[in-house]
Chains A and B, each alone.
Chain A
Amino acid sequence: MGILSLIVFIPFLTAIFILFAKSPKTIKSIALAGTGLHLLASFVLTYLFFNSPQNINPDPTGLSLQFVEKWDWFSSFGVSYFLGVDGISLAMILLTSVIIFTGVLASWNVENRSKEFFALLLLLVTGVFGVFVSFDLFLFFIFYEVAVLPMYLLIGIWGTGPKEYSAMKLTLMLMLGSAFLMVAFLGLFHLSGLNTFDMTKLAQVNFDLQTQRWIFPTLFVGFGILGALYPFHTWSPDGHASAPTAVSMLHAGVLMKLGGYGALRIAVYLLPEGAKEWALFFMALTTINILYGSLGAIKQKDLKYFTAYSSVSHCGMVLFGVATLNFIGFKGAVLQMVSHGLMTGLFFSLIGMVYGRTHTRIINEMGGLAKVMPWLATSFYIAGFASLGLPSLSGFVAESQIFMGGFMGNPWHDLTWMRVLTVLSTMSIVVTAVYVLRGLAQVFMGPITNLHFNELTDASLTEKVTTALLIASLFFVGLYPKFFVDMIEPAINPIINRLNM
C-alpha cells in the first residue's frame, strides 16, 4: 500500500473505528486523532514530494505524477485503480486536511447521533481525497459520488431550518451534474477507441473537433454545478444555510473545489480544442458569477446566506481563472481554490461559534459584539479582509494572479473582450469590501444592541485553536505564496503545453 492509498483511506479507517466506539467522547477523540494523523501524513507527503527527484517525463504534455499506484481493476472495461499526485492535487490535499481537522474541532459540540455524524463526515472526506489523487476517470467518478452523497444525510439529519428541502435540492442538483459527467466520461471512453479510463492515456488522444465541441461544455457544466457556476448555483445558499457548521466548512471549503479541479484537470486538459471554442463564453458566464454573487451578498440578512453568496462570487473566480486558458490564470484558479477553502472554512466555523452564543444568524439582530467577544470579532475581520483581497492574506495572491491572467489573455481569443471581462470582474473587489464591512460593522461594531449579549463569552480554547489554525494558514499562503506557486507551476505546464500543441 502506497502513501496515497494511506492518504485516501485513513479517514475511511477512522470512520470504521468510530462505528465501534461507545461514548461520544471516544468518538470525538478518534475523529480528532484520525484527522490529526491525516494532517501529519499530508505534511509528510508534501515533504517527500518536494524532495523526491521529479519524474522526468519525455512528453512535455504528460503529467508529472509522483507516488503512482496502479493496478488493473476491471481490465475488460479498461478500469484501473490509478492513484498519483502532482502539484495541483497536493495543494488540494493540504487544503482538505486542514479543513477536516478544523472541521472536527468545530463540531466539538455535536451531541445528536455523534457516531453517525462523524462517520459520515469522514466518509465524505475519503471521497474528496480519492477524487484528488485519482487519474482514472472511472475511479474518479466513484470517489466523486462518495464525496457528494453523504451530504444529503448530513444536512437532512443534522441541519437547521428547512433542512429536508435544502438537502434534497442540493443532492438533486449535484446529481444532475454527475449525470453530465457520466455522459461525458462514457463519451470519452468510447470515442477514444482505447478501451481505457486512464486519464494519462486519454490525454494523448486528439479527439476530433466535433467531439470536443460537445463534450467540453458537458464536462464544464457538470463540474460547474458543483463549483457554483451561474445559473446552477442556487443549491449553495440554501444548502450552506441549512448545513451544520462542519458540513458547511467542508462543503464550501473543499467540495465546491472539486468543480474547479475537475474543470481544469479533466475538461481543459483532455479537451483543449473544445476549451478554446468555449472559453470566452464561460469567461462571460463566470464574470456574471463574480459580480452577481457579490452584489447579491449585499442584501442578505442571514450571515450564512451572506457567506454563501460571497462563495458564489469567489468560486466564480476559480472558474474564471480556468476559463482564461492562461498560465497565470490557471495558477490563480488553483491558488484561489486553496484560499477560498481556508477563508470560507474560517467564515463558517466563526458563524457557528457566534450562532452558538447569540442563537441568531440574522445580521440586524446583532450589534456591538466586539466588546464581549474580541477574539471572534478579530478573527471575523481577518476572514473578511481575506475575502476582500487584502494583501498579506491568501485572497490577494490568488485574485491578482487570476486578474493578471485574464488581462494578459491567450492567443485564441480576442484580447479586448477578455480585458473587458477581467475589468468587470475586478469590480467585485469593491463590492466585496462594501458587503463585508457593512455586515461585520453591524454585527460587531457600535454599541451593544441587546442587553443579554453582555453575558456572552469569548472563544473557548478549542475555538481559539480552530480559528488560529485557519488564520495562520491564510497568512502563510498570503505571505509566502512561493510555497504553493512552486508546487503548482510544474503541474500547470502540461495543461498549457497541451493547449499550445
Chain B
Amino acid sequence: MVLLPTWMILAIPLLSFIINGLFVRRFSGHLAAKIGTIAIGFNFLFSLALAYYFFQSGELSTLEWHTEWLRFQSNLIIHIGVMIDPLSAMMLVVVNTISFFVHIYSLGYMHDDEGVGRFFSYLSLFTFSMLGLVVAPNLFQMYVFWELVGVSSFLLIGFYYTKPSAVSAAKKAFIVTRFADLGFLIGILLLGYLGLSVNQGQISSVYSPLDFLFLNNPDVGLQLASSGLLTTGLLLIFIGAAGKSALFPLHIWLPDAMEGPTPVSALIHAATMVVAGVYLVARLFPLFNLAPVALEVVSWVGLFTSLFAAVIACTQDDIKRVLAFSTLSQIGYMIFALGVASDLYPLGYTASLFHLFTHAFFKALLFLGAGSIIHAVHTNDVWQMGGLKKYMPITHITFLVAVLSISGIFPFSGFFSKDEILTAALESGHMTHYLVGLFVALLTSFYMGRIYFLTFWGQSRSHENASHHPHESTWVMTLPLVLLAILALSSGWLPFANYLWFAHKHDHHSLNMTVAFSGTLAAIIGLSSAWFLYSKNNFSKVQKIQTGMGQAYQIIKAKFYFDELYLFVTHKIVFNKIAGPIAWFDKKVVDGGVDLTGEMSQTFGQKLTLIQTGQVQNYIIWFIVGFITVLTLYYNTVL
C-alpha cells in the first residue's frame, strides 16, 4: 500500500492487546485505556487513508500480503493474509470508525470500573479479530477469526464475571454460535473437497481451493455448481452466518448478550460482529448466485427474522433489549436483501451492504445514547425513565437523529438504504418480501418511537429520589454521540453504488417514487401512533390495547418462549436424557463389566485353590486320571 504495509492494520490492535493485556493493565488500567484508544485511533486514520487510496486507484481487489500458516497437503495450503477489495475496504472503515468512537466513549463510561484495563484489552482483542475476519483472503482464515471474534464476544459479554446473569449470557452466546459454526466448519470441509476436484489450469495452480479469489472465479463457480453439492455447502456455511448474525432460530443469544457493558453492545452486538453473517454471504455472493435454492432460503430466513424480531421489540421494556431486537430485525433486512439479489437484479446486493453501512452508525449511536441514559438514571427500564429531554439535551437530539434515521425518514441515512432494499425486493418481483418489508418498517418506527417518547417525553417516572436530577454525560461520552449523529445524517448521501456492486456497475439508483412514498408513509404511521400512545404520562390506552390482545401479548412479550424451548432441549433432553444415561452406562455397565471380570477371575481362582489341597494322595489321583485320559485320546486318534 501507499503509506504502510497493510498488515499493520492487524498488527496494531494485536500489539495493543498484548501490551495492555499482559503488562500495562497490571499497574494502570487508565494508561491501558489510553494506549488502546490511541492505537485504534491510528487504525481509524489508517483505514480511512487506505480506503481513499483504494477507491481512488479503482482497483477491484488486491492480495496485499500473505504467508503460509497451515498445510493440509501440498495442494491445500492455508495462508494467513490481507486482502483488500471494495467489500473489505468498506468494512475496514466501518469497524475502525465504530471501534474508535466506542473506545473514546468507553474512556468516560468505564472510568470508574476497576476492570478498566481488562476491558480495553478485550476491546483491542475484539478489534483485531474482527479486522482479521474482514481482510481474510480465504474461507479458512475467515473461520479462524470468526472463532476469535466469538471468544472476544464471550469475554466482553461476561465482563462483569461475578454477576451470574452475565456469565450465563456469555456462555449462551458462545455455545449457540459454536453450534452454528459447526455448520460453517462442515461447509468448509465440503467446499475444500469440491475445490480440490476443480481443475482450472492457471487459476488452480495459483490459488488454494479455499481462497476467495479461487471460489469466486466464475469458471470455478460453474464447476462447483455442476458437482451438485454446492447448494448443500452454501447452506451449511449459511448456518454459521445465521449463528453469528443471530438469525431466527439461532437468535436467542443476542438479547441476553446485552448483559455486557453498553459500549460493547454498541460495538459488537449492533454494528460489527453481528453483521459478520451478512458479510460472509456477501463475500461468497458469486457462489450463492449460482445456487438459487440457497439464496431462496437466505431471503426467507432474513425476512422472517426481521418480522419476528420487530414484533417482539414492540413489547420489551428494557431499552437495550428493544435495541437488540431492533438489531435482529435490521440484520434480517440486510439478509433478505441479499436473498433477493441475483445477477439479473443485483440491486439487493448493494442495498444490503449499504444498509449494513448506515445501520452501523445509527445503531451504534442508539446504543451509546442508551448507555448515556442508563449512566444517568441507573436503570434499563423505559417505564422508569421519562422527561429526560430537559436534562440531557445532547443525548436527546442525537438519539432523535438515530430514531428518525432507523425509521427511514428523509433525509436521514436509513431512508436511503431502506428505500434501496425495498426497491430491490419490488423490482426483482419479490412482492411478499416487499410488503412484509414495508410492514416491518412500520413496526420499526413504532417501537423506536415508543422508546424515544417513553424516555425523553412526559414526566419522570424514576423511583429514585425526586431531588436527584439526572444530568448530561461528560464530553468524552457526548462527543462520539455527536460525531455518530453527523454520520447518521450524512452517510445516506454517499454514492454507495459507485463503490460496491455485484455483476455490473450501476449508477446511484434513482428514487422509485412508489417505494419512497409508501416507505415514508409507513414510518410516519409508526411514529405518530407511538406519539399518540406514549408521549404523555397517561398510558390507559396502552393498557387497553394490552388487555385487548390478551394471551397473544403475553406470548410476544415472552419472546414466543424460545428461551424456554432451548432450555428444555438442552437440559431436559441433551443433559438428562443423553449425557446422564451415558455417564451412568459408563459407570455401571462398561466399568461394571471390568469389575465383574475381575471378581469372576478372583472367584474362579478361589475355586481353583480347592484342588490345591497340599495332600500328595490327591495329586497322585489327578496324575493317574490325567495320564489315562491322554493315553486314551492318543490311541483313539492314532488307531
| Residue ranges of A at the interface with B (Cβ–Cβ < 8 Å) | 169, 172-173, 231, 233-235, 237-238, 292, 295-296, 298-300, 327-328, 368, 370-371, 385, 388, 390-392, 396-397, 400-401, 403-404, 407-408, 422-423, 426-427, 429-430, 433-434, 437-438, 441, 444-448, 481-482, 485, 489
Q: In the complex, are the beta carbons of B71 and A482 less than 8 A apart?
A: yes
Out of A237, A370, A371, A404, name the residue touching B72 (CB < 8 Å).
A404
Out of B147, B164, B575, B583, name the residue touching A390 (CB < 8 Å).
B147
Say yes or no for B525: interface residue by CB 8 A criterion.
Answer: no
Determine the distance from Cα of A500 to Cα of B550 in the docked complex, in whole angstroms.
71
Q: In the complex, are the beta carbons of A404 and B175 less than 8 A apart?
A: no
Q: In the complex, are the beta carbons of A407 and B70 less than 8 A apart?
A: no
Q: In the complex, are the beta carbons of A445 and B161 less than 8 A apart?
A: yes
Would A234 and B591 be within 8 Å (CB), given that A299-B580, A391-B144, A437-B171 are in contact?
A: yes
Q: Which 5 A-B pairs have the closest CB atoms?
A: A298-B579, A391-B144, A299-B583, A407-B189, A234-B591
Question: Closest Cβ of chain A: how far from B139's Cβ, in Å?
Answer: 12
Q: In the complex, are the beta carbons of A426 and B171 less than 8 A apart?
A: no
Question: Closest Cβ of chain B: how far from A190's Cβ, in Å?
Answer: 26
Which B residue sits closest to A294, measured CB to CB?
A: B579
Determine the distance from Cα of A233 to Cα of B593 in the docked complex, in whole angstroms.
12
Out of A295, A400, A423, name the residue touching B582 (CB < 8 Å).
A295
Query: Which among B179-187, B219-227, B361-369, B468-476 touches the partner chain?
Result: B179-187
**Chain A residues within an 8 Å CB radius of B575:** 298-299
**Chain A residues within an 8 Å CB radius of B189:** 403-404, 407, 422
**Sampled A-B contacts (23; CB under 8 Å):** A169-B595, A234-B594, A295-B578, A295-B579, A295-B582, A296-B583, A390-B151, A391-B143, A391-B145, A391-B147, A391-B148, A397-B70, A401-B72, A404-B72, A404-B189, A407-B193, A423-B186, A426-B182, A429-B178, A433-B178, A434-B570, A448-B162, A482-B70
**Chain A residues within an 8 Å CB radius of B594:** 169, 173, 234-235
Determine the distance from Cα of A235 to Cα of B590 in the docked complex, in whole angstroms.
10
Would A404 and B68 be within 8 Å (CB), given that A296-B579, A298-B579, A434-B175 are in contact?
A: no
Determine the distance from Cα of A446 to Cα of B594 in the docked complex, in whole angstroms.
40
Q: In the complex, are the beta carbons of A445 and B158 less than 8 A apart?
A: yes
Q: In the complex, are the beta carbons of A404 and B192 less than 8 A apart?
A: yes
Instruction: Kindly list 8 other residue pairs between chains A and B, CB separation below 8 angstroms, not including A172-B598, A391-B144, A448-B162.
Output: A237-B586, A238-B591, A298-B583, A299-B575, A328-B72, A407-B190, A433-B178, A445-B162
Question: Closest Cβ of chain B: how far from A10's Cβ, in Å?
Answer: 33
Which A residue sits closest to B78, measured CB to CB?
A: A400
Say yes or no for B167: interface residue by CB 8 A criterion.
Answer: yes
Question: Closest Cβ of chain A: how far from B199's Cβ, in Å?
Answer: 17
Determine the distance from Cα of A371 to Cα of B167 in the docked complex, in whole angstroms.
14
Which B residue sits closest to A231, measured CB to CB?
A: B590
Question: Closest Cβ of chain A: how far from B30's Cβ, in Å?
Answer: 19
Determine the distance from Cα of A429 to Cα of B189 in the docked complex, in whole angstroms.
15
Q: In the complex, are the beta carbons of A430 and B182 less than 8 A apart?
A: yes
Determine the distance from Cα of A371 to Cα of B593 in the docked complex, in whole angstroms.
43
Task: Give chain B's interface secondary structure class.
Answer: helix
**Chain A residues within an 8 Å CB radius of B598:** 169, 172
Q: In the complex, are the beta carbons of B162 and A368 less than 8 A apart?
A: yes
Which A residue sits closest to B21, measured CB to CB?
A: A378
**Chain B residues within an 8 Å CB radius of A391:** 143-145, 147-148
Q: Most chain-B CB neighbours within 10 Å: which of A234, A298, A391, A441?
A: A391
Question: Closest Cβ of chain B: how far from A287's Cβ, in Å?
Answer: 14
**Chain B residues within an 8 Å CB radius of A327:** 73
Say yes or no for B69: interface residue by CB 8 A criterion.
Answer: yes
Q: In the complex, are the beta carbons of B162 and A371 less than 8 A apart?
A: yes
Q: In the complex, are the beta carbons of B185 and A426 less than 8 A apart?
A: yes
Count how many chain B residues have C-beta atoms less than 8 Å from C-beta atoms of the other chain.
48
Say yes or no for B119: interface residue by CB 8 A criterion.
Answer: no
| Residue ranges of B at the interface with A (Cβ–Cβ < 8 Å) | 68-73, 76, 143-145, 147-148, 151, 158, 161-164, 167-168, 171, 174-175, 178-179, 182, 185-186, 189-190, 192-193, 196, 570, 574-575, 578-580, 582-583, 586, 590-591, 593-595, 598
Determine the distance from Cα of A328 to Cα of B71 in the docked complex, in whole angstroms.
9
Question: Closest Cβ of chain B: how far from A433's Cβ, in Å?
Answer: 5
Out of A172, A296, A441, name the residue touching B171 (CB < 8 Å).
A441
Which A residue sits closest to B172, measured CB to CB?
A: A437
Determine the distance from Cα of A65 to Cα of B182 in the docked complex, in whole angstroms.
39
Out of B71, B182, B582, name the residue touching A429 (CB < 8 Å).
B182
Out of B73, B161, B190, name the residue touching A328 (CB < 8 Å).
B73
Which A residue sits closest to B591, measured CB to CB?
A: A234
**Chain B residues within an 8 Å CB radius of A234:** 586, 590-591, 594
Question: Closest Cβ of chain B: how far from A204's Cβ, in Å?
Answer: 26
Out of B147, B167, B578, name the residue touching A446 (CB < 8 Å).
B167
**Chain A residues within an 8 Å CB radius of B162:** 368, 371, 445-448
Determine the distance from Cα of A430 to Cα of B598 in the docked complex, in whole angstroms.
36
Out of A231, A370, A401, A447, name the residue touching B164 (CB < 8 Å).
A447
Out of B145, B151, B168, B186, name the residue touching A385 (CB < 8 Å).
B151
Which A residue sits closest to B594, measured CB to CB?
A: A234
Determine the distance from Cα of A437 to Cα of B150 in the docked complex, in whole angstroms.
13
Question: Closest Cβ of chain A: how far from B615's Cβ, in Å?
Answer: 32
Q: In the complex, are the beta carbons of B186 and A426 less than 8 A apart?
A: yes
**Chain A residues within an 8 Å CB radius of B167:** 441, 445-446
Determine the distance from Cα of A400 to Cα of B140 in the docked complex, in whole angstroms.
10
**Chain A residues within an 8 Å CB radius of B580:** 299
Determine the distance from Cα of A317 to Cα of B171 in the docked complex, in whole angstroms.
25
**Chain A residues within an 8 Å CB radius of B147:** 390-391, 396
Which A residue sits closest to B589, measured CB to CB?
A: A231
Q: In the complex, are the beta carbons of B143 and A433 less than 8 A apart?
A: no
Determine the distance from Cα of A390 to Cα of B147 in the docked complex, in whole angstroms.
7
Which B residue sits closest to A291, measured CB to CB?
A: B582
Would A482 and B164 be within 8 Å (CB), given that A433-B174, A437-B175 are in contact?
A: no
Which A residue sits closest to B70, measured CB to CB?
A: A481
Determine the distance from Cα of A120 to Cα of B476 in the docked complex, in whole angstroms.
63
Question: Closest Cβ of chain B: how far from A181's Cβ, in Å?
Answer: 19
**Chain A residues within an 8 Å CB radius of B171:** 437-438, 441
Which B residue sits closest to A233, measured CB to CB?
A: B590
Would A482 and B182 be within 8 Å (CB), given that A407-B189, A430-B175 are in contact?
A: no
Which B residue sits closest to A300, measured CB to CB?
A: B583
Question: Closest Cβ of chain A: how far from B37's Cβ, in Å?
Answer: 24
Determine the distance from Cα of A124 to Cα of B422 in the docked complex, in whole angstroms.
71
Which B residue sits closest to A370, measured CB to CB?
A: B161
Determine the distance from Cα of A236 to Cα of B406 in the docked complex, in whole angstroms.
58
**Chain B residues within an 8 Å CB radius of A423:** 186
Determine the distance from Cα of A238 to Cα of B591 in the docked complex, in whole angstroms.
10
**Chain A residues within an 8 Å CB radius of B593:** 231
Which B residue sits closest to A440, measured CB to CB?
A: B171
Question: Closest Cβ of chain A: how far from B118's Cβ, in Å?
Answer: 9
Question: Closest Cβ of chain A: how far from B225's Cβ, in Å?
Answer: 20
**Chain A residues within an 8 Å CB radius of B151:** 385, 390
Which B residue sits closest to A368, measured CB to CB?
A: B162
Determine the distance from Cα of A485 to Cα of B74 in the docked complex, in whole angstroms.
12
Determine the distance from Cα of A257 to Cα of B190 in the docked complex, in whole angstroms.
30
Question: Closest Cβ of chain B: how far from A200's Cβ, in Å?
Answer: 26
Question: Closest Cβ of chain A: how far from B267's Cβ, in Å?
Answer: 21
Question: Closest Cβ of chain A: how far from B502's Cβ, in Å?
Answer: 30
Determine the distance from Cα of A107 to Cα of B185 in the docked complex, in whole angstroms.
40
Which B residue sits closest to A305, measured CB to CB?
A: B583
Q: In the complex, are the beta carbons of B185 and A403 less than 8 A apart?
A: yes
Question: Closest Cβ of chain B: how far from A225's Cβ, in Å?
Answer: 11
**Chain B residues within an 8 Å CB radius of A385:** 151
Which B residue sits closest to A482, measured CB to CB?
A: B68
Which A residue sits closest to B171, measured CB to CB?
A: A437
Determine the distance from Cα of A53 to Cα of B234 in the docked complex, in whole angstroms.
46
Q: Most chain-B CB neighbours within 10 Å: which of A370, A403, A404?
A: A404
Which A residue sits closest to B177, measured CB to CB?
A: A433
**Chain B residues within an 8 Å CB radius of A430:** 175, 178-179, 182
Question: Closest Cβ of chain A: how far from B215's Cβ, in Å?
Answer: 17
Question: Closest Cβ of chain B: how far from A174's Cβ, in Å?
Answer: 12
Question: Closest Cβ of chain A: how far from B613's Cβ, in Å?
Answer: 28
Q: In the complex, are the beta carbons of A485 and B186 less than 8 A apart?
A: no
